[in-house]
Amino acid sequence: MTAITTGAGAAQYDNRLVFAEQLIELARVDDRIVAVCNDSVGSSNLGAFRQEFPDRLINVGIAEQDMVGVGAGLAASGLVPFVCGAAPFLTGRSLEQVEADVAYSQHPVILCGMSPGFAYGELGPTHHSVEDLSWLRPLPGLDIVVPADRRQTRQAVLSAVAAPRPTYIRVGRTKVPDVTVEGDELVRGRFNVARTGDDVTLIGTGTTVAVCLAAAEHLAATGVSARVLNAAYVAPLDVAAITAAAAQTGAIVTVEEANTAGGLGAAVAGVVVTLPRSSRVPMRLCGLTDFAPTGSADYLMQHFGLTPAAVASAAREALADA
């Protein structure tokens, strides 16, 4: 495996930019592609799309329930709608539409939750999208994709167009380094192995994959070999990768810029508790369980222990339980 540079000094990118670039590139050759937004042309970075395809950008105004319903109607008519809005409003305000009009109706709408997690930092908990994974994960027939970097963001858009199905893509705004290399393809329902290791497994998703990789460096310095898995798909869940991690390493730590109640941590724990006693390893769930205080996105990552040092410490604690 090619070494991945994620340490201090590694270049970092806003994945909304590659999302928009890829969408425009595909829209040039596929006129089924339309974008739907809620007065979020700027925040969803759809300005260039609107300029090139003015008729195919449907701005419904500040009306998220209508936005998702309209997306379902477009999909029902054979188009491939990318429904883009700030993640907290797209998922929270329209949850019943996502359930009934998209998942249950099986209309292939691509829901694009922009600026998830703590991206809106100081604007506070109303603007943080930290419950989206918990809300959407129980919905049958809805894929949840959390691209970790530029390559995976591009591939998420490509996959959505190649085989449209009800999908939620968490499109990060917080700048992150590239964590995948050529050959780390985004495969439906599969985690990517970001680093091999035998003692403990760290599972990150989106922004926290880089945090896990840095935590693995901390652990390596004290002789602990950490496997790092990139949960690019939270649904369908990679049960095989979780089962292997439990069988082959001594503990599992999940790390998410999200609430652990119902999110990635709960999903992984739900698999681990059903395993035979011999491979039912100790776990730690890194994330949040409370509304965030005031602070920047960076500050909040530290506040909730989503830093390399804190994750490494959680891994040592879990190993001590083993």
Partner 1 sequence: MLASDATAVARWRAQRLETAQADPDRRTELLRQRAQATRRDIVTMIGRAGLGHIGGDLSITDVLTVLYHHVLRIDPEHPDTPDRDRFILSKGHCAAAFYATLASAGYIPHAALATFMEPLSELSGHPNRTKVPGIETNTGPLGHGLPVAVGEAIAARLTGRDTRVFVALGDGEMQEGSNWEALMLAGHRRLANLVVIVDRNRLQQGARTEETNALDPLDDKLAAFGLEVRMVDGNDVAQLLEAFAPSTTGKPVGVIANTVKGKGVSFMEDRVEWHHKVPSPEQITLALEELA
- Number of residues interacting with partner 1: please give it, by CB under 8 A: 30
State whether residue 125 is helix, strand or coil: coil
Q: Is 50 in the site for partner 1 (CB under 8 A)?
A: no
Binding mask 73-112 for partner 1 (x = CB under 8 A): xxxxxxx-x--------------xx--xx--xxxx-----
Q: Is 39 in the site for partner 1 (CB under 8 A)?
A: no
Where does this chain touch partner 1 (CB under 8 A) — which range of 16-24, 65-73, 176-184, 296-304?
65-73
Cβ neighbours of residue 292 under 8 Å, at least 6 residues apart?
Answer: 118, 124, 125, 128, 130, 300, 303, 304
Other C-beta atoms within 10 Å of 312: how many?
25
Q: How far is the CB of 20 from partner 1 (least distance, A)?
A: 20
Q: How far is the CB of 127 from partner 1 (least distance, A)?
A: 21
Other C-beta atoms within 10 Å of 243: how many?
16
Q: Is 70 in the site for partner 1 (CB under 8 A)?
A: yes
Q: How far is the CB of 77 from partner 1 (least distance, A)?
A: 3
Q: Is 71 in the site for partner 1 (CB under 8 A)?
A: yes
What are phi and psi for residue 148, nearest 5 degrees?
-95, -20
SS3 content of the chain, % helix, strand, coil (to 5): 40, 20, 40
Q: How far is the CB of 21 from partner 1 (least distance, A)?
A: 23
Between CA 24 and CA 19 the distance in angstroms is 9
Positions that interact with partner 1 (CB under 8 A): 34, 55-56, 58, 60-61, 63, 65-66, 68-79, 81, 96-97, 100-101, 104-107
